[in-house]
């Protein structure tokens, strides 16, 4: 089984090389902004088309204009989709791609609850309908000291949150990944994390314009192993904050419990901002290995997003903010 999958993916990879070259050229062109008006989809003119929603999603994703670039080389589609952390599908880096078909994403809905005026169960169509999609290239820095550069497609979490009208009591947003005790995913048969996977952000972190709800990458619908159909991307924090396959969003008053903090509070804090000055208890965070590169590179404060997010932590002792 394993060897069949490996063979298949290396056969695919040659096509992807060509694919990616074209992709990069095309996107390079879009960078000029000439096509940014293409962000006005057909659905803008014919609102009823928006109801068709999910069948339109692949097109909306592949046409999403790039709004954020990075002067660093992209990781390949194959790297991004075969080297993953997704413990629900196993702890090995290739487990998520090998077990990807165990994750059923259709139908999908998201429960919204807590301190807000519009709680309820929203279908994926409801969630995605009003949002213009954009492509943003971000670094992803795992707490394990490896990193990638990924072209995500999504929309600002802030725009989604505003639709639910959080009350003034909403100080944090809590998220959960799917977990059905009667039908556990392959990795959920072990209680190595307390399922469901839980994550959370302070409200101002959630509302920061960098925080993305992603539905795709490389111009394609989100692969299951990367957290289909809907996952968070918080580029200035260690990767485990970017929770995958979200089924619940709760507005809460107190700092919510988060899975890695519950598993090991000494090693994984709530904030978990990328910080080369604060070592993990078992390894240094000063440097990282960019997947695909041999030599390590320096890790950047807030993963290189300091200018955009440092203000969120003014007055906090960042040496304790692990
Ligand atoms: N539900 C869930 N979300 C998760 C994880 C997980 O195990 N389960 N792993 C996290 C970790 S540790 C990282 S580094 C990123 C990896 O995202 P990627 O596989 O898309 O690169 O997803 C994060 N989100
Ligand atoms: Mo990670």
pLDDT band at residue 6 under the 50/70/90 scheme: very low
Q: How far is the CA of 22 from the centre of ligand 1 (A)?
A: 28
232 CA: nearest ligand 1 atom: 24
**What's the domain count of the chain?**
1
Could you list the residue range(s) of the whole structural domain that residue 231 is in?
Answer: 3-313
In DSSP terms, which residues pair with 152 in a beta bridge? 136, 217
Mean pLDDT within 216-223: 98
Q: Which residues contact 152 (CB under 8 A, 6 or more apart)?
A: 135, 136, 137, 138, 212, 214, 216, 217, 233
Kindly tell me if the per-residue pLDDT of 10 is higher than 50. Answer: no
Tokens representing residue 260 in the block: 């890695």
| C-alpha–C-alpha distance, residues 234 and 236, integer Å | 6
| C-alpha–C-alpha distance, residues 76 and 240, integer Å | 21
Which is it for strands 109-114 and 246-252: parallel, antiparallel or unpaired?
parallel
Q: How far is the CA of 25 from the centre of ligand 2 (A)?
A: 30
- Verify whether ligand 1 is closer than 6 Å to residue 142 (CB atom): yes
Phi, psi dihedral angles at 317 (to 5 degrees): -80, 100
Q: Is there a domain that residue 322 lies in?
A: no
- Verify whether ligand 1 is closer than 6 Å to residue 197 (CB atom): yes
pLDDT band at residue 13 under the 50/70/90 scheme: very low
pTM over 0.85: yes
Phi, psi dihedral angles at 215 (to 5 degrees): -125, 0
**Residue with CA nearest ligand 1 atom 15:** 239
Q: What does the pLDDT look like over 88-100, one tens digit per residue?
A: 999 999 999 999 9
187 CA: nearest ligand 1 atom: 7
Q: Write down the pLDDT at residue 320.
A: 80
How many residues are given for the chain? Answer: 322
Q: Write down the pLDDT at residue 12.
A: 37
**Residue with CA nearest ligand 1 atom 4:** 243
Q: Compute the Cα dihedral for 150, 206, 62, 38 and give only its sign.
A: negative
pLDDT band at residue 53 under the 50/70/90 scheme: low
**Residue with CA nearest ligand 1 atom 5:** 86
Residue with tokens 């799917």: 178
* Contact of 99 with 90, CB cutoff 8 Å: yes
For residue 265, give Cα distances in angstroms to 90, 104, 106, 261, 280.
22, 31, 35, 4, 12
Q: Is there a domain that residue 226 lies in?
A: yes
- Verify whether ligand 1 is closer than 6 Å to residue 27 (CB atom): no
Mean pLDDT within 206-222: 98
| C-alpha–C-alpha distance, residues 144 and 280, integer Å | 9
CATH code of the domain in which 167 resides = 3.90.420.10
* Contact of 211 with 245, CB cutoff 8 Å: no
- The overall average pLDDT reported for the chain is 89
Q: Is there a domain that residue 321 lies in?
A: no
Q: How far is the CA of 240 from the centre of ligand 2 (A)?
A: 5
For residue 277, give Cα distances in angstroms to 92, 245, 295.
28, 31, 20
Q: Compute the Cα dihedral for 167, 169, 170, 171 and give only its sign.
A: positive
Q: Characterize 242-275 residue by residue with b for buried, 16 or more Cβ atoms within 10 angstroms of its Cβ, and e for exposed.
A: bbbbbbbbbbbeeebebbbbeeeeeebbbbbbbb
Kindly tell me if the per-residue pLDDT of 278 is higher than 70. Answer: yes
**Residue with CA nearest ligand 1 atom 6:** 86
Q: Is there a domain that residue 178 lies in?
A: yes
């Amino acid at each position: 089984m394993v060897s069949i999958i490996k063979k298949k993916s290396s056969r695919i990879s040659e096509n992807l090389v060509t694919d990616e070259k074209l992709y990069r050229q095309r996107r390079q062109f879009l960078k000029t902004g000439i096509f940014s008006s293409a962000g006005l989809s057909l659905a803008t003119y014919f609102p009823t088309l928006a109801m068709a929603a999910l069948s339109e999603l692949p097109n909306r994703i592949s046409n999403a204009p790039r709004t954020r670039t990075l002067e660093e080389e992209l990781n390949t589609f194959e790297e991004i989709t075969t080297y993953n952390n997704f413990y629900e599908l196993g702890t090995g880096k290739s487990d998520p791609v090998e077990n990807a078909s165990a994750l059923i994403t259709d139908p999908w809905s998201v429960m919204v609850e807590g301190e807000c005026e519009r709680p309820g169960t929203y279908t994926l169509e409801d969630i995605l309908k009003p949002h213009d999609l954009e492509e943003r290239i971000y670094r992803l820095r795992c707490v394990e000291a490896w990193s990638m550069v990924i072209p995500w497609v999504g929309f600002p979490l802030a725009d989604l949150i505003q639709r639910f009208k959080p009350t003034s009591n909403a100080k944090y947003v809590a998220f959960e990944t799917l977990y059905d005790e009667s039908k556990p995913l392959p990795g959920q048969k072990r209680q190595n994390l307390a399922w469901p996977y839980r994550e959370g952000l302070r409200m101002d972190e959630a509302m920061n314009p960098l925080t993305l709800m992603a539905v795709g990458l490389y111009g394609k619908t989100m692969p299951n192993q990367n957290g289909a159909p809907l996952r968070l991307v918080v580029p200035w924090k260690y990767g485990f904050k970017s929770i995958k396959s979200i089924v619940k969003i709760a507005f809460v008053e107190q700092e919510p419990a988060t899975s890695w903090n519950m598993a090991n509070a000494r090693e994984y804090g709530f904030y978990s901002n990328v910080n080369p000055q604060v070592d993990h208890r078992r390894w240094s965070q000063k440097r990282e290995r960019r997947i695909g590169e041999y030599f390590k590179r320096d890790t950047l404060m807030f993963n290189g997003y300091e200018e955009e997010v440092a203000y969120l932590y003014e007055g906090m002792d960042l040496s304790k903010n692990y």
